[in-house]
């Protein structure tokens, strides 16, 4: 299990590079993403590689919770289709304190193309929470966090709260 990287780490602002499927790195990354997503404080429904300090294009999703029939780790994912419909929901992130929530507008449906750990390509249509989760994790792979979706006033408020937490020794 890896340690979760927290904001304001520069790793969270990094545009990640592709993973070589089938490599020992890919297999290690898959194990780490799975273990960390389900352990301890994490217990999220998604986790991207930069959140565990690895700047490669991969993320894990809790496919059992989301009732999806696909691999639970997406390597080199890309959105290949999206619906025009959007919704706005509050999102939290494992790289931020639990109290930080940002209202984020996302597409309601997306089609994602990725490959599994061995390089087998797959495509999946994602709707609702599953689409939101994948888009959130793909944002991480592109160096974006929920804070990038916040308005200026909201962002300043959140940064103030994070600064107080850091000063008090909490992350």
pLDDT tens, position by position, 95-132: 998 889 999 999 999 999 999 999 999 999 999 999 99
pLDDT band at 169 (very low <50, low <70, confident <90, very high): confident
Convert 1-21 to b/e letters by CB count within 10 Å (16 or more is b): ebebbbbeeebbeeebeebeb
Q: Where are the domains of the chain?
A: 10-167
Determine the pLDDT at residue 152: 95
- The pTM of this model reads 0.93
Rounded average pLDDT over 32-55 = 87
Which one is catalytic: 81, 137, 154, 161? 137
Determine the pLDDT at residue 39: 79
Indicate the fold that domain 10-167 takes in CATH: Peptide Deformylase (3.90.45)
**Mind spelling out the 3-state secondary structure of the chain?**
CCCCCCCCCHHHHCECECCCCCCHHHHHHHHHHHHHHHCCCCCCCEEEHHHHCCCECEEEECCCCCCCCCCCEEEEEEEEEECCCEEEEEECCCCCCCCCCEEEEEECEEEEEEECCCCCEEEEEEECHHHHHHHHHHHHHECCCHHHHCCHHHHHHHHHHHHHHHHCCCC
Q: Is 32 annotated in the active site?
A: no
Under 8 Å between Cβ of 125 and 108: no
């Amino acid at each position: 299990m890896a340690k979760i990287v927290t904001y304001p780490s520069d790793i969270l602002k990094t545009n990640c590079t592709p993973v070589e499927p089938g490599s020992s790195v890919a297999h290690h990354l898959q194990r780490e993403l799975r273990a960390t997503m389900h352990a301890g404080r994490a217990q999220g429904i998604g986790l991207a590689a930069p959140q565990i300090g690895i700047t490669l294009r991969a993320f894990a999703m809790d496919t059992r919770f989301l009732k999806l029939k696909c691999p639970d780790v997406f390597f080199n994912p890309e959105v290949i289709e999206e619906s025009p419909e959007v919704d706005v929901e509050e999102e939290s992130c494992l790289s931020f304190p639990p109290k930080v929530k940002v209202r984020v507008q996302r597409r309601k449906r997306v089609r994602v193309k990725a490959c599994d750990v061995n390089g087998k390509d797959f495509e999946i249509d994602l709707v609702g929470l599953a689409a939101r989760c994948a888009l959130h994790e793909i944002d991480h792979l592109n160096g974006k966090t929920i804070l990038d979706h916040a308005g200026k006033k909201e962002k300043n408020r959140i940064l103030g709260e994070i600064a107080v937490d850091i000063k008090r020794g909490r992350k």
